[in-house]
Amino acid sequence: MTPSPPHENTDVLVVGAGPTGLAAAIELRRLGIARVVVADREQQAGGVPRHCYHIGFGLRDMHRLLTGPRYAQRYVRLAEQAGVEVHTSTTVTGWLPDTTPAARGVSEPAVRGSVSLALTSPRGLSAVHARAVILATGCRERPRTARLVPGDRPLGILTTGALQQLVYIQHQCIGRRAVVVGAEHVSFSAVLTLAHAGAETVAMITEHPRHQTYTPYRWLSATRLRVPILTSHRITNIIGRRRVEAVEVTDLATGAVRQLPCDAVVFTGDWIPDHELARRGGLMMDPATRGPCIDGALRTSAPGVFAAGNLVHAAETADIAALSGRHVAHAVQAFLESDRWPERAPVPILCAPPVQWVAPSAIDGDAHRPPQNRFAWRVSEFCGPAELIVRQGGRRLWRRRYRRLVPTLPLHAPAEWIGQVDANGEPVTFELYPAA
């Protein structure tokens, strides 16, 4: 008979040691939670900022401007000082039998016991039994295969994350001429990384009619380096034997096709949450965000399981994700003290196109306010002057006019109206109308 793996008990298990997970763990310790364990599959804690060498981190949560590595180091140091147990090179592989969120059900108003997860690390297999679990696994860029870009399979095809790790951590040569696919925040960051690596960015390519970042970001990278931005274009073929030799680009307006010689292609943006663990646990998923469904307290559909950061709204900046971690820590503390979970299902929030998604995507009966007392939302296309109206049935709860709406740029709606929501009523809808 195979012996059972060693196990340990903890008050809270945090999955993910990025800004969200570390901020949540630090806040939990500050709130008096005795034992908080953080597990992360990377060799070092700190998350994506570890290999983002540009400045701009920490303004909202630390009230100072830092580079990515300095920001990550500061969170790791604060976690150590708070007494958080951080286990790196540790992968949470799944929920143990009969303790998955789905198996535990969601209808019991009183919840006892723990959630158990299986882990693997260089020390071997183990199990953790936690009174509460915070999923802070973040998000990732969709690679070339997920975007169904045809062509050869040579070396030199990367995402921004892979590019930054190769350049700043492994100090490897990327190539001499690169094409960047995308024109949002992270795309312009990729241009700067390529410049630091001594590579020329031949072009940025986006299917949208305009870039999707702020003008200063564009000037600091693409404009200053004289990088052309090909709007309304798509990569339709990658050419190369051992290494990338060129890309085929199609003009979506005219259908004209041309080749751009290059030896590297960097796919940027087009974020998707790292939701595999949530799906394996049977959590209710939001088809719009593709992350777990959550309410204002960042509770999922399963008792004792919370989700925060870019797992539930890919992708906000690191400091916004960290503030989400602090927010969820207070909800976890309340749960540990009361050991109770809502009996009634929350009121869902629905999106009417071109509204793409809203997070949190539900409002609970106690009308818990979301992080920073506001809802994050996005649009799927460029919109001129427009009015956002929030309704429940025939009742208008809130409205605001916006001058310009850009895909991938952060949009927020204050949560001042959620006290008007009927907990027994119809779903709440976010609807966008052209401004008069």
Q: What is the pLDDT of residues 255-280, one digit of tens each?
A: 999 999 999 999 999 999 999 999 99
Residue 316 Cα distances to 21, 260, 320, angstroms: 15, 32, 6
Q: What is the average pLDDT across 126-145?
A: 96
Q: What is the average pLDDT across 102-116?
A: 53
Least trusted range by pLDDT, from 60-69, 121-130, 211-220, 371-380: 211-220
pLDDT at 313: 87
CATH topology of domain 143-269: FAD/NAD(P)-binding domain (3.50.50)
In tens, the pLDDT along 234-259 reads 999 999 999 999 999 999 999 999 99
Q: What is the average pLDDT across 155-163?
A: 96
Q: How sure is the predictor about 72, in pLDDT bands with cuts at 50, 70 and 90?
A: very high
Q: Is the pLDDT assigned to residue 39 strictly greater than 50?
A: yes
Q: Is the pLDDT assigned to residue 136 strictly greater than 80?
A: yes
Structure tokens that stand for 265 in this block:
């292609």
Q: Is the pLDDT assigned to residue 160 strictly greater than 80?
A: yes
Q: Is the pLDDT assigned to residue 350 strictly greater than 50?
A: yes
Residues 6 or more apart whose Cβ sits within 8 Å of residue 28: 11, 12, 36, 329, 332, 333
pLDDT at 100: 55
Nearest by Cα to 160 from 135, 130, 140: 140
Which contiguous run of DSSP H or E holds residue 130?
strand 124-135
Q: What is the average pLDDT across 432-436?
A: 88
Angle at alpha carbon of residue 320, lines to 339 and 100, rounded to 5°? 35
Q: Is the pLDDT assigned to residue 109 strictly greater than 50?
A: no
Q: Provide the CA 170 distance to its chain's centre, in angstroms.
A: 24
Mean of the per-residue pLDDT values for the chain?
93
In tens, the pLDDT along 274-305 reads 999 999 999 999 999 999 999 999 999 999 99
In the chain, % of residues over pLDDT 90: 85
Q: What is the average pLDDT across 334-348?
A: 94
Structure tokens that stand for 56 in this block:
């701009």
Q: How sure is the predictor about 106, in pLDDT bands with cuts at 50, 70 and 90?
A: very low
pLDDT at 221: 84
Q: What is the average pLDDT across 316-323?
A: 95
Q: Is the pLDDT assigned to residue 110 strictly greater than 60?
A: no
Taking the CA atoms of residue 87, residue 92, residue 96 and residue 102 in that order, the dihedral angle to the nearest 10 degrees is: 120
Q: What is the average pLDDT across 169-185?
A: 94
pLDDT at 5: 65
- To the nearest 10 degrees (0 to 180), the angle between helices 68-82 and 318-338 is 20
Tell me if 154 sits within 8 A of 244, measured CB to CB.
yes
Q: How far apart are CA 217 and CA 229, in angstroms?
A: 14
pLDDT at 56: 87
Q: What is the average pLDDT across 14-31?
A: 98
Q: How far apart are CA 401 and CA 133, in angstroms?
A: 38
Which contiguous run of DSSP H or E holds residue 215?
helix 215-218
Q: How far apart are CA 275 and CA 305, in angstroms?
A: 14
Q: Which CATH code of 3.90.1150.10, 3.40.190.80, 2.60.120.330, 3.50.50.60 fits the domain covering 7-140+272-343?
A: 3.50.50.60
The domains spanning 7-140+272-343 and 143-269 adopt the same CATH topology: yes
pTM beyond 0.85: yes
Q: Is the pLDDT assigned to residue 3 strictly greater than 90?
A: no
Q: What is the average pLDDT across 387-406?
A: 95
pLDDT at 2: 42
Domains of the chain: which residue ranges? 7-140+272-343, 143-269, 351-434
Nearest by Cα to 424 from 326, 367, 346, 357: 346
Q: How far apart are CA 79 and CA 69, in angstroms?
A: 15
pLDDT at 7: 82
pLDDT at 307: 98
E-strand stretches of 197-354: 200-205, 229-230, 233-240, 244-251, 257-261, 264-267, 271-273, 305-307, 347-351
Q: Is the pLDDT assigned to residue 231 strictly greater than 60?
A: yes
